[in-house]
Amino acid sequence: MSDGNGAGALAGKQCVVMGIQNRWSIAYAIAEQMAQAGAKIAVTYVDERAGRDALALAEKYGGKGYTCNVESDEDLDRLAADLARDFGRVDSLVHSIGFAPAAELAGRFIDTSREGFRVAMSVSCYSLVAAARRIAPLMTEGGSIMTLTYLGADRAFPKYNVMGVAKAALESSVRYLAYDLGGQRVRVNAISAGPVKTAAARGIPGFADTYGAMLERAPLKDEFGAAQVASVAVFLASDAASAVTAETIFVDNGYHAMGI
């Protein structure tokens, strides 16, 4: 049974965490905290190279790892089939995947190419829909789906560009998925994380400035990282969040609420 976020909050649950690149990934911290809360974990990574840290983590906690490029319907179909074979039931799905071509994050949003827009939307937004459609049928006892978003969906951050537009579409997708899946007691939420030093974040020019701005202006001055995001993911996957769906939860020391 659930006892908040302590040991055992996810006892008996089976959680799939998509998007580990390395040990700095937000998905890595989420998968680790979910395992420590008692869940059996499955992790996914884009290719074998990215899978090194992910597989070591999964093995440490008796879980499993799978390659899945979300641009490939075949990969997504295979992942769902592998999960059905190896786990049977899934209780939680974490989507922690985002990408836009570097050229789209270098200049002005107005110069976004058609192909750059397509890729950013496909990898960062449509992949949630595609994964949910395949994996929600395995949530036979209800479930919790969550994705990672950023304040750049609501506000214009220079150079975040098309990723901000993709995150806005992602947050909207969360609400539509929550409506579609509510009838089978599957909740769908987004965590809007403050800046965390990861591979994806390093690809965004000026990221260090956003981290400094958060520490300077946010109500909470504490150091902030993937661990703070992961504990909220554990909460969303737990029975403690049984009435929380279609929501975007900010986990950013309160930075989003500030005017200056």
Ligand X SMILES: NC(=O)c1ccc[n+]([C@@H]2O[C@H](COP(=O)([O-])OP(=O)(O)OC[C@H]3O[C@@H](n4cnc5c(N)ncnc54)[C@H](O)[C@@H]3O)[C@@H](O)[C@H]2O)c1
**Helix or strand run (H / E) with residue 84:** helix 73-86
Task: Give me the least distance between CB of 12 and ligand X, in Å please.
Answer: 27
In whole angstroms, how close is the CB of 8 to ligand X at the nearest point?
26
Min dist CB 19 to ligand X, Å, is 4
Binding residues for ligand X, per CB under 6 A? 19-21, 25-27, 46, 50, 68-71, 96-99, 123, 148-150, 193, 195-196, 198-201
Burial, 69: exposed, middle or buried (Cβ in 10 Å; 0-12, 13-18, 19+)?
middle
CA 25 – CA 240 distance, rounded (Å) = 25
Tell the smallest beta-carbon distance from residue 178 to ligand X (Å): 18
Q: Which is nearer to ligand X, 21 or 238 (CB)?
A: 21
- Among residues 150, 176, 211, 255, the one annotated as catalytic is 150
Give yes or no: 61 in active site: no
Residues 6+ apart with CB under 8 A from 133: none
Which of 165, 229, 155 is closest to 198 using CA atoms? 229
Q: Which is nearer to ligand X, 81 or 199 (CB)?
A: 199
**Of 28, 45, 66, 160, which one is the catalytic site residue?**
160
Residue 2 or 100 with smaller CB distance to ligand X: 100
Q: 150 an active-site residue?
A: yes
Residues sharing a CB contact under 8 Å with residue 81, sequence separation 6 or more, in sequence order:
none
Residue type, 127: S
Q: Active-site residue numbers?
A: 150, 160
